[in-house]
Amino acid sequence: MVIAPVYGAMLRTSDGVRIDAGHFPGPSGDLGIVLAHGFTGSWRAPATRRIAAVLARYAGVLAIDFRGHGRSSGLSTVGDLEVLDLDAAVRHARTAYRRVVTVGFSMGAAVALRHAALHGGVDAVVAVSGPARWYYRGTKPMRQVHWAIEHPAGRLAARLARRTRIAVGRWDPMPLAPYEVAPMIAPVPLLLVHGDADTFFPLEHAHQLYEAAGDPKELWIEPGYGHAESAATPDLIRRIGQWTSRTKP
């Protein structure tokens, strides 16, 4: 069942971008989850709200729209400067919760990994359906994603159809890839979740991340699970919620 957030919030990043957020109530003030959506997603999307509603059984949930998405300002950099968006959300969550865990899907998974490694301030990280490296084009869906990012017609389609506004040009400098930052996360607990039916990123991405990361770490390979928020079952989200509730500061 989808529940409405107790309040909406407009956060501000260290580089001045306004980030739209929604707070879903949890059972106590001890544990907070910051929920990070995938590319072209939104915390207001039905799939993300369903996930937040399930996670709210275990923790308070602060769900955000990354820059360039939905009602947030700025332009999407597809995983680079989004670490500043997540950092603003983590700092906001820290004002209400003793423990804070980030849970990211797809692009949000890459951002959660990079944030934990480069900014810290979290008690655990969950990365679902995340890429291990940049510029992956080995599947048809990812070739379509690159068309949306790299071509004017693709960026226009993303803006009109998905309310996603994408920055023009290549990264400069190139940010460290998720597998490169994975060793920096330890000793913060890390959970990697990936489906064996993911049509965007095959299982090699999950294995590359897991092999690069330090302990403590877990890898869940989910049979029949596709990609990110839209394919996540309530049972999977419940198990993720239970895992986050077991994390210790």
Encoded amino acid at 186, one letter = A
pLDDT at 1: 47
DSSP structure class, residue 101:
E
Residue 2 lies in a domain: no
C-alpha 163/C-alpha 69 separation (Å) is 6
C-alpha 168/C-alpha 97 separation (Å) is 37
C-alpha 68/C-alpha 203 separation (Å) is 29
Q: Which of 134, 92, 95, 112 is nearest to 35 (CA)?
A: 112
pLDDT at 249: 63
CATH number at residue 21: 3.40.50.1820
pLDDT tens-digit profile of 47-104? 999 999 999 999 999 999 999 999 999 999 999 999 999 999 999 999 999 999 999 9
pLDDT at 213: 98
User: How many domains is the chain built from?
Assistant: 1
pLDDT at 6: 56
Residue 1 lies in a domain: no
The mean pLDDT value of the chain amounts to 95
Instruction: Please state the pTM of the whole predicted model.
Output: 0.96
Q: What are phi and psi of 196, to 5 degrees?
A: -80, 0
Residue 130 lies in a domain: yes
Residues 6+ apart with CB under 8 A from 31: 58, 59, 60, 97, 98, 99, 100, 101, 244, 245, 247
pLDDT at 46: 94
pLDDT at 8: 83
Residue 149 lies in a domain: yes
Mean pLDDT, residues 106-135 taken together: 98
Mean pLDDT, residues 120-130 taken together: 98
pLDDT at 3: 54
Residue 78 lies in a domain: yes
pLDDT band at 28 (very low <50, low <70, confident <90, very high): confident
pLDDT tens-digit profile of 168-223? 999 999 999 999 999 999 999 999 999 999 999 999 999 999 999 999 999 999 99
Place of tokens 């039916």: 197
Mean pLDDT, residues 17-45 taken together: 95
Residue 221 lies in a domain: yes
Place of tokens 């300002």: 73
pLDDT tens-digit profile of 150-168? 999 999 999 999 999 999 9
Q: Which range marks the domain in which residue 108 is found?
A: 7-245
